[in-house]
């Protein structure tokens, strides 16, 4: 084979090899480059905006880049800490001041690193290892061997914009937001109460709506205020859901009271101010929540009755209607004039200004008892006038019967004595 032919064959083989490897080289994607670390002093809100469109794989690159920055800063701090132990005087103080500045820069980097971690976690990435690293390299090292360095670190943190000053502002914002939402909750509650004034709802339901509205607004404010303390609200809300399930399972009886409370609010068997017999208790309804009802007895005792006990028993609402019938019974002797007694009772009832004309009263001979002829006297009155009319008519009947010579018999027994004769 000639040289010329051999060279031609080698050239053909090299061309074929290059044609095979070139597409593979072209198809290989270049390594991803982090984009958010170009400006390491970028504000956290702006960083969050930059992170929003990134995919999970892209975020993983950003996380590694920010971790390297944190690691470099922590390494620099560690070296200076070792160096500070070998010097004294002004030189040591200079190193301590430099450490304060570096710790502030480390805190700023960690804030941005955490922002990237939260975004990666939200998009399904595993951040557990990174979070452990952040926890390990954060904070201030306090050593009893070097009191000056420890005090300098604490003082530096307290006076740092990324340390004590930052947390003072966070706490102030937390308190101000809580106070603001407390005021807003009261305003919203007042507006809700005013808007419900003309609604045909019970006072219990109105109070429940107003109180619930106020609490929802305050809880919203509390969540916003916690974010000022740099608390991650997402896991907190998820944890509250789990805690709610556990607490709900443990408090089954309380949940039954909740359900009964909703039923009472829905069907309105009584309202605030009503005189009721419910759950084995008699008194005036003072207040109610979803768990229990507070009832004041006539002698001014406050009784807290579970709603489940009330809803599972007979409820008697004595003052639930606008009018009531006063049931009275009066007895006269068998020798007295029935017609005269009837006329006296009618005159007394007709003459009382609190007795209603409609429905009409009823006065009838009702019973021939052992020692008396009993009349029923049943006038109708407004519910609030019940006891006034009851007491007035009872007194008037005694006085008029005495004046008219009509006797009011009392139980008596005739005793017959027989003498035995021998």
| pLDDT tens, residue by residue, 338-352 | 999 999 999 999 999
Question: What pLDDT does 343 receive?
Answer: 94
Question: What pLDDT does 237 receive?
Answer: 59
246, pLDDT greater than 70: no
Question: What pLDDT does 119 receive?
Answer: 87
Percent of the chain at pLDDT above 90?
Answer: 29
Top-confidence range, 114-118, 176-180, 256-260, 393-397: 393-397
202, pLDDT greater than 60: yes
- Which whole number is the average pLDDT over 116-135? 88
Give the residue among 186, 215, 222, 236 at the shortest CA–CA distance from 290. 215
Percent of the chain at pLDDT above 70?
Answer: 78
117, pLDDT greater than 60: yes
- Which whole number is the average pLDDT over 197-209? 75
Say how far residue 387 (Cα) sits from the centre of its chain.
42
Question: What pLDDT does 23 receive?
Answer: 46
Question: What pLDDT does 22 receive?
Answer: 44
8, pLDDT greater than 80: no
Question: What pLDDT does 143 receive?
Answer: 53
Give me the residue label for tokens 């002004």.
90
Least confident stretch, 112-121, 136-145, 318-327: 136-145
Cis before 29 (ω within 30): no
User: Considering the chain, what is the average pLDDT of its residues?
Assistant: 81
Give the residue among 212, 85, 19, 288 at the shortest CA–CA distance from 278. 288
Question: What pLDDT does 225 receive?
Answer: 84
13, pLDDT greater than 60: no
pLDDT class of 233 with cuts at 50, 70, 90: low
Distance CA 270, CA 204 (A): 9
Question: What pLDDT does 150 receive?
Answer: 61
**Prediction pTM value:** 0.50
355, pLDDT greater than 90: yes
Q: Which residue has the higher pLDDT, 280 or 378?
A: 378
Least confident stretch, 147-156, 158-167, 202-211: 147-156
Give me the residue label for tokens 């290059």.
18
Least confident stretch, 97-101, 105-109, 164-168, 238-242: 238-242
pLDDT class of 80 with cuts at 50, 70, 90: confident
Instruction: Print burial letters for 345-384: b (CB count within 10 Å at least 16), e (below 16).
Output: beebbeebeebbeeeebebeebeeeeebbebebbbbbeee
Q: Which residue has the higher pLDDT, 197 or 240?
A: 197
- Which whole number is the average pLDDT over 367-390? 93
Question: What pLDDT does 213 receive?
Answer: 87
């Amino acid at each position: 084979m000639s040289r010329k032919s051999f060279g031609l064959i080698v050239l053909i083989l090299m061309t074929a090899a290059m044609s095979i490897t070139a597409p593979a080289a072209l198809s290989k994607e270049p390594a991803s480059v982090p984009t958010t670390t170009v400006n390491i002093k970028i504000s956290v809100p702006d960083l969050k905006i930059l992170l929003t469109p990134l995919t999970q794989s892209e975020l993983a690159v950003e996380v590694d880049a920010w971790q390297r920055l944190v690691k470099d800063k922590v390494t620099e701090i560690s070296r200076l800490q070792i160096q500070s132990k070998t010097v004294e005087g002004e030189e040591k103080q200079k190193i301590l001041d430099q450490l304060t500045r570096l710790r502030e820069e480390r805190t700023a980097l960690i804030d941005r690193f955490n922002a990237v971690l939260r975004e990666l976690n939200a998009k399904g990435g595993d951040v557990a290892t990174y979070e452990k690293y952040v926890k390990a390299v954060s904070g201030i090292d306090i050593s009893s061997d070097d009191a000056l360095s420890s005090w300098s670190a604490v003082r530096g943190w307290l006076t740092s914009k990324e340390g004590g000053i930052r947390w003072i502002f966070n706490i102030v914002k937390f308190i101000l937001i809580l106070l603001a939402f407390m005021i807003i909750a009261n305003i919203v509650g007042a507006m809700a109460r005013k808007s419900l004034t003309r609604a045909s709802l019970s006072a219990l339901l109105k109070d429940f709506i107003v109180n619930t509205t106020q609490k929802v607004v305050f809880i919203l404010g509390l969540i916003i205020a916690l974010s000022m303390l740099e608390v991650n609200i997402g896991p907190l809300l998820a944890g509250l859901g789990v805690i709610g399930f556990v607490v709900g399972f443990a408090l089954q009886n309380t949940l039954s009271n909740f359900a009964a409370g909703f039923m009472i609010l829905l069907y309105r068997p009584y309202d605030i101010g009503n005189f009721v017999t419910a759950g084995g208790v008699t008194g005036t309804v003072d207040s109610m929540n979803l768990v229990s009802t507070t009832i004041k007895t006539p002698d001014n005792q406050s009784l807290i009755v579970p709603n489940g006990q009330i809803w599972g028993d007979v409820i008697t609402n004595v003052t639930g209607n606008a009018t009531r019938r006063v049931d009275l019974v009066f007895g006269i002797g068998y020798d007295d004039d029935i017609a005269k007694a009837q006329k006296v009772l009618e005159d007394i009832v007709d003459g009382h200004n609190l007795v209603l004309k409609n429905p009409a009263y009823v006065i009838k001979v009702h019973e021939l008892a052992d020692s008396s002829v009993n009349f029923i006297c049943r006038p109708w009155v407004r519910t609030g006038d019940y006891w006034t009319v009851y007491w007035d008519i009872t007194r008037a009947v005694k006085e008029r019967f005495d004046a008219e010579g009509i006797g009011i018999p009392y139980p008596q027994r005739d005793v017959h004595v027989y003498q035995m004769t021998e």
